Amino acid sequence: MRSPGHREHPEHHVNERHVPGRLRALLGADVLADSDDVIEVDEDGNPPRYYFPRDNVRMDRMSASDTRTYCPFKGEASYFTMEFLDGQMPDAAWTLKQPYDEHADLKDRVAFYSEKFDDLQFKRG
DSSP letter at 89 equals E
Q: How far apart are CA 117 and CA 52, in angstroms?
A: 17
What is the dihedral sign for C-alpha 62, 107, 44, 37?
A: positive
Question: Which structural domains are found in the chain, ordered by start?
Answer: 4-124 (2.170.150.40)
The model carries a pTM of: 0.95
At residue 63, the pLDDT reads 97
Q: Using one digit for the tens of pLDDT, what is the confidence trace for 8-34?
A: 999 999 999 999 999 999 998 899 999
Order the strands of the 23-27 sheet from edge to edge.
30-35, 23-27, 120-124
pLDDT band at 118 (very low <50, low <70, confident <90, very high): confident
At residue 94, the pLDDT reads 98
Q: Report phi then psi at 106, rounded to 5.
A: -85, -5
Q: Using one digit for the tens of pLDDT, what is the confidence trace for 37-83?
A: 999 999 998 999 999 999 999 999 999 999 999 999 999 999 999 99
CB 83 within 8 A of CB 62: yes
pLDDT band at 84 (very low <50, low <70, confident <90, very high): confident
